[in-house]
Structure 1
Amino acid sequence: MPAETAPAQTPASLGYRWPAEWERQASVWLSWPRNPATWPDKFEPVPAEFAQFVRTIARYEPVNILAGGSEILAQAKSLVGDLPNVTIHDIATNDAWCRDHGPIFLSGPKGTQPALVDWEYNAWGGKYPPFDKDNLVPKIIGKLQGRKVFTPGIILEGGAIEGNGEGLLITTESCLLNPNRNPHLSREQVERYLADYLAIKKVLWLTGGEMAGDDTDGHIDQIARFINPRTIVVCVCDDPTDDNYGPTQQNLVELQNLTDLEGRPFEVVRLPLPKPLFVDDQRLPAGYGNFLIVNDAVIVPQFGDPADATAIGILQDLMPKHQVVGSPSLDLVWGLGSFHCLSQQEPLAHL
Structure 2
Amino acid sequence: MRAVNAAPHLPPTAPSPRERGFTMPPEWAEHAATWMSWPQGDDLWFGHLAGVRDEFAELVRTIARFEPVHLLVRDDESEADARGRLGNVDVTFHRVPLDDVWIRDNGPIFVRDGRGRVSLVNWRFNAWGGKFHWQNDDQVPEYVAQFLGLPHWDRPEILEGGGLEVNGAGVGLTTRSCFLTPTRNPGLTEEGYAALLRETLGIQKLLWLNGGLENDHTDGHIDTITRFTDERTIVTSVAGDEGDANFPTMQKNLADLRGMTDLNGEPFRIVELPLPVNRLEGAEGRLPPTYANFYIGNGFVVVPQYGDPNDARALEVLRPLFPGREVIGLMSRKIIEGGGSFHCMTQQQPAGTLWTGE
Q: TM-score, normalised by structure 2?
A: 0.93
The 5 Å alignment of 1:1-351 reads 7-84=13-90, 86-110=91-115, 112=117, 114-129=118-133, 131-207=134-210, 209-275=211-277, 276-279=279-282, 282-349=285-352
Alpha-carbon deviations, 1:116-148, whole Å to 9, x = none?
A: 01000000000012x111000001100000112
Question: How many residues were matched structurally?
Answer: 343
Aligned mates of 1:111, 1:273 — CA distance in 2: 37
**Corresponding letter in the other structure for 1:100:** D
In structure 2, relative to structure 1, the CA distance for the partners of 1:111 and 1:238 (3 Å cut) is closer
Aligned mates of 1:23, 1:282 — CA distance in 2: 37
Alpha-carbon deviations, 1:201-259, whole Å to 9, x = none?
A: 0000111x220231101100001000000100001002111111111111111111111
Aligned to 1:326, the other structure's residue is in SS state strand
CA displacement at 1:279 relative to structure 2: 2.5
Aligned mates of 2:13, 2:269 — CA distance in 1: 37
Q: What is the aligned-residue identity percentage?
A: 44
- Judge conservation of contact 2:130–2:183 (CA < 8 Å) in 1: yes
Aligned mates of 1:230, 1:189 — CA distance in 2: 26
CA displacement at 1:281 relative to structure 2: 6.2
- Judge conservation of contact 1:108–1:350 (CA < 8 Å) in 2: no
Alpha-carbon deviations, 1:252-296, whole Å to 9, x = none?
A: 111111110011111000001112111256211101000000101
Aligned to 1:240, the other structure's residue is in SS state coil
- Judge conservation of contact 1:31–1:342 (CA < 8 Å) in 2: yes
Aligned mates of 2:151, 2:316 — CA distance in 1: 40
Q: Point out the more displaced range, 159-168 or 178-187.
A: 178-187
Name whichever structure is richer in strand by fraction: 2
Q: Point out the more displaced range, 279-288 or 308-317.
A: 279-288
Q: TM-score, normalised by structure 1?
A: 0.94
Q: Point out the more displaced range, 32-41 or 190-199.
A: 32-41
Name 2:6's counterpart in structure 1. none
Aligned to 2:344, the other structure's residue is in SS state helix
- Judge conservation of contact 1:206–1:251 (CA < 8 Å) in 2: yes
CA displacement at 1:183 relative to structure 2: 0.2
Ranges in structure 2 where 5+ consecutive residues have no aligned partner: 1-10
In structure 2, relative to structure 1, the CA distance for the partners of 1:156 and 1:280 (3 Å cut) is closer
